Amino acid sequence: MESFRLFERLMDAPQYAGRLFGDISAVPQSARAGPPLRRILERARPGGDWAARLLNGSDYPLPGLMPLYAPERLAAQGLLDPAAVAPLTAIRRHNSLLFDFVLKRHLRLGGQGLANRVFETRDFFVGTP
C-alpha cells in the first residue's frame, strides 16, 4: 500500500486524534507532488479536518536543490500561480529556507491554500494550548 494512504488512514482513525501529527516538509517535492499534495491541500485548508494536525517543517537544505523542487511543475499542475514561479526562483537563489516557506504559502487548490494554523507551530512545540 502507498505510504500516503497509510498516513491518511491513521489520520482518520479517531483514536489518534490529538496524538498523531504530520509535517509538510517534503510534500512540495517533485517526486511527492500530485495526488498526496492535492489531498493535503484539501484537508489542511482553513476549516479542514487536518488543519490543526499538520505542521510546517523544512527539509533544509533540500529546498535549495533544483531537481527536487520544481515550481514550474506545480504551476503546470494548477497548484501554484504561474506568476509566482519567477519570484520563487529568485527567492530560492537568495535563501532556500525562505523559498520553502513562501512556496508552501502560495500552494493552492480550488483557490484555497493551507490554513494559517499549519504555519503557526510555536504552541505545538512549546506545549501550550
Predicted local confidence at residue 128, as pLDDT: 63
Residues 107 and 62: their CA atoms lie apart, in Å, by 18
Q: What are phi and psi of 125, to 5 degrees?
A: -80, -25
Average pLDDT of the residues in 50-65: 92
Residue 32 has pLDDT above 90, yes or no: no
Q: How does pLDDT run across 90-101, given as a tens digit for each residue?
A: 999 999 999 999
Q: How confident is the model at residue 72 (pLDDT cuts 50, 70, 90)?
A: very high
Concatenated DSSP letters for 63-88?
GG-TTT--HHHHHHTTSS-GGGHHHH
Specify the 3-state DSSP secondary structure of 21: coil
Q: pTM of this prediction?
A: 0.91
